[in-house]
Structure 1
Amino acid sequence: MLELHDVQSGPVYDDCKCENGQEYTESNLTLPSRCYSPSGADCSWYRDCLERKFKCSGTEDDYAMAFATKFCNLYSQSYQDFSQDGQQWIDAVRKCLQVSLVQTLRPYLPFTCEDVKRIAFDSKTPCYVKPIPERRRSNSDDKMKILNDFVDSMAYTLHWQEKEVLWFSDPEINSNISASSETYIDIFLTDRNVYDLDVKNTTVPSNTINELKKMAQTGELNGNIDGFSIKILSSHGCLDANCDTLLFNVTANDNGMLL
């Protein structure tokens, strides 16, 4: 189900079901059964499963031992240095990378070392960006997207991308939010070079904060996103993430959303 439909729970679709009386037993497999359902937590999977079948070690297409095992172990060595969310992402990525290669282990499919390397590298971006299969979107997901899109539209208006300013938004979402309600969005600004190694040393321009304060107050940043009209009610800026040091606090000229 993960291979064909990117789904890891729920009912099994017809194209993944065994026929009546059919059983996929150990005798049908050329590798241990665990190879066909990797957890992602075991880096030896590349050696015991992938390399055992293809024996690519020492060739120019040696992906399993020269690349995959090396980086899988690096994640393991630094695992405790990550936050809980970071560890969850690592677990999901490692599983996604291994699951994407299970198709090459099927005894009835003819793959080569070159195929394995190609499939592995093609899976990296999808696994890094969306390692966990998507679930059905909820109303909270939709509201989160709308509010994040609103912040992105503000960033576009204020030219943050061109000014090498990196932004992160964190909307307050709960089940009571309606189309006419008020909510808060935390927006964190930092120099892009802090997270992007390709960017030279930069600092957030001083006029960036002044523009944000002014345009939030005058309503120039208000907008419509996916049919929702969003207005800023007030805006306050801080010099630290906990807002222990207040930089400004302004009230908008029109009613709307708390920012």
Structure 2
Amino acid sequence: MSKLDLEENEATMSSLKPEKVAEMYDATGELGLYLIFDNQLHFGYWDKNNPNASLSEAADRLTQIMIDKSEIRPGERFCDLGCGVGIPAIQIAKAKECFVDGITISKYQYDRARELAEEAAMSDRVRFIQSNALAIPCDDATYDGGWFLETIYHMGHREALREASRILKPGATLLIADFITGPNTAEEFKTFAKEQLHSDHLPKEDYPGLLDEAGFDLIEIDDVTESMMPFMVPKVKAGFKQYETEILQYVQREAIDGWLQVFESVCENLGYILVKAKKRVRS
């Protein structure tokens, strides 16, 4: 990454406002999306093993892929940086028998996550904190592992990676699921994403330098665009149709059309990667 690129990214990150992200996820209109994703508010993963999966089933599949990539051990502490309503945090705590702190800036997500953890009888192992993920209320080197599951683009990549490096122990694994720009990403979409979705997206090629700068060694980058983007819009449409009656209790039909346009634009303009890195152990 060039010096000019770094300076442009710094300017972009400073324009991302945490309070706008909180407002977006607190908005009652977002409740319809929680329904169609079955509380896993991230994209789905499809391949030959689950070509006919529903949106919620494919979202669950992506969570499981992330869990499988993690190296957290029983009894260790894991941080979910941007936890939504907490389903992935609960799932990794169950699968790995670890303790999880989920960080969200949204009051709605924080309250709902606590409810879901209690319903799952996991409140003793999964804790939720309403906080800016760029200023987590914990000591340095607190966690044995962590992830940004479709959240880092709301924070600014450099700043988010710096905070992840601060809170993770040397040798800890960091996982990232992120949208990426490519040669077909329109400038109009980048502006829309920043202004309306409070998101900043980078090309895959920027990741090695950003990770190295933050003190991480890159293990792998998997481009999984073809297992995700071609499927999303048809599955989202099916989800809205399935839950139409419930969603229309919260929003007007025009809002559903607007959501579909956003998903179409995202899938046309962005790719998707899964990143695995380790915090460097300094000699």
What TM-score results when the alignment is normalised by the length of structure 2? Answer: 0.24
More helix by share: 2
More strand by share: 2
